[in-house]
Amino acid sequence: MKQSNQIAVVARYTFMDAVRKKAFWVTNIIVVALIIGLALFTPMIGEDESDMYISGDAAAEIEIGGGYSSEIYLIDESGGLLGDAKNYLEEYGMFEVTVYDATQLEICKQLLEENGGAAVVRISGDDGLPLVEIITQDDAWIDTFQIEEAFNALNRTLQMKARGLTDQEANDILSSALTFSYEIIGEAESGSNMLIGSVLMILMFFAIYYYGYAVAISVATEKSTRVMETLIVSAKPSHILLGKCIAMGTLGIVQMTGLIAIGGIALSFFAPESTFEILAIEPIPITKILLILLYFALGYALFVLINSVCGATVSKTEDLNSAMMPATMLTLASFYGGYFANLMPAAVGVGTGANITTYIPFTAPFSVPFLLLTSDVPSSTIAVSLVLLAATTVLIAFISTRIYSASVLHYGARLKLSAVIRMLRDKNI
């Protein structure tokens, strides 16, 4: 059988075997259910925040919290320094105003305990600017800022009328407004893109860890059940290893792409357009998507080759976790290195849109996709990073296939690194 055919046969068998497992389908069903649940939740994010504030004539018609309307219990002890405040506030269109006298202050406070959408407003002072005291519950549903604005507008109107302006002139001045235009210099990082980048880093970590572990346990299982002895007859050990890695990598890319597509479809169906405006989700160029997939493929290959060697050094699946401990620590250190380097770029940065983890082959698969989503990474940085990552992956592939070939038929105690090196030297692999 040709070498390419051997790899293809092993890859096809491994892929189909993984897809047929119940755990694969249960995991996907749970994740899809979570994605749809989050998509159903997004309309709450997309609600128009302006609905929380009531103005105009509609204020008197809409009930706020506990069936109570937005009300003011007005007590004027100033002798009319603010004129007919009741009529002005009602014409202002925000509140229902009920007037009480100074002796009823405690009664008004008691009413507040029953009405979360109300406030007691007490006007005092003999001359000059009056003091406006606003009393509300701790968890009141009424907007005291609107009360302040209403009384400030009333005071300005009275001041202008006192200077000889007519009501119409005073209203014209109060209603006049400047037109503003804004220009933003530079491009700020999108908070949503940073969130997506962080989520992507976590997804890539779990995908690399999960499928790398799947290859290792597959190798260990085939050794413990002696299936490996049958496979060796029909295919070279290196071809078996490459076939398994290609199969699980393909499965990982297909699964991640499918889940992302389902998430996009769910959002398009359930999330209102305002959600995307509030989250400021920006379109991702196809070149960046392809680069992210390339980094995932190379990063996956790098770590899965290391994990597969761990599976080949044990004869029983019970010993796999201890054998994989160094590989697991390397994966965790690489993930957290890339993660925290992007959170604290000033501490480890070496330039705009890049940091030291961009060039380290083990951290680059986690770090660079985040940078691609949140900043403009120089092409030279990407080129150097990819060359280093690809070269390291090829080197690890060469070393891993040799170790795998030497240890895959070893049975007994778990092989240590020194024993593996001795086997390579003795067998001249």
Which stretches of 284-411 are DSSP H helices? 286-312, 320-343, 345-348, 364-374, 379-407
Q: Could you give the CA distance from residue 296 to residue 294 in angstroms, rounded to a whole number?
A: 5
Residue 180 identity (one-letter amino acid):
F
Residue 280 identity (one-letter amino acid):
A
* Interval 383-428: pLDDT, tens: 999 999 999 999 988 888 888 777 766 666 666 766 666 766 665 5
> Is-contact 116 66, C-beta < 8 A?
yes
Give the model's pLDDT for residue 385.
92
Q: Could you give the CA distance from residue 421 to residue 404 in angstroms, rounded to a whole number?
A: 12
DSSP letter string, 91-144: HHTS-EEEEE-GGGHHHHHHHHHH-TTEEEEEEE-SSSSPEEEEE--TT--S-H
If you count them, how many residues does the chain have? Answer: 429
Q: Could you give the CA distance from residue 364 to residue 342 in angstroms, rounded to a whole number?
A: 11
Give the model's pLDDT for residue 92.
66
Q: Could you give the CA distance from residue 313 to residue 320 in angstroms, rounded to a whole number?
A: 9
Own/partner pairs, 136-141, CB within 8 angstroms, 24+ separation: 136/112, 137/112, 137/113, 140/112, 140/116, 141/64, 141/65, 141/68, 141/70, 141/116, 141/117
* Burial zone of 365 (CB within 10 Å; 0-12 exposed, 13-18 middle, 19+ buried): buried
Residue 291 identity (one-letter amino acid):
L
Integer distance in angstroms from the first to the last C-alpha of the chain? 22
For the chain (length 429 residues), average pLDDT per consecutive 10?
71 83 83 81 52 38 42 85 81 79 88 80 77 79 77 82 80 68 48 70 82 80 68 73 82 79 76 53 77 87 85 78 87 88 55 69 89 83 93 89 74 67 63
The residues, ordered by sequence, that sit 6+ positions from 168 with a Cβ below 8 Å of its Cβ are none
Q: Could you give the CA distance from residue 55 to residue 374 in angstroms, rounded to a whole number?
A: 39
Give the model's pLDDT for residue 342.
75
Give the model's pLDDT for residue 46.
46
Angle between helices 417-427 and 379-407 (to 10 degrees): 80
- Map residue 264 onto helix, strand or coil: helix
Q: Could you give the CA distance from residue 299 to residue 362 in angstroms, rounded to a whole number?
A: 7
The residues, ordered by sequence, that sit 6+ positions from 140 with a Cβ below 8 Å of its Cβ are 112, 116, 117, 118, 119
> Is-contact 247 12, C-beta < 8 A?
yes
Q: Tokens 């490996």 correspond to what residue? A: 228
Give the model's pLDDT for residue 417.
65
Give the model's pLDDT for residue 357.
86
* Tally of helices (H runs) and strands (E runs) in the chain: 16, 6
Give the model's pLDDT for residue 173.
77
Phi-psi region of 180 (alpha: psi -120 to 50; beta: other; left: phi over 0): beta
Give the model's pLDDT for residue 350.
42
Give the model's pLDDT for residue 289.
84
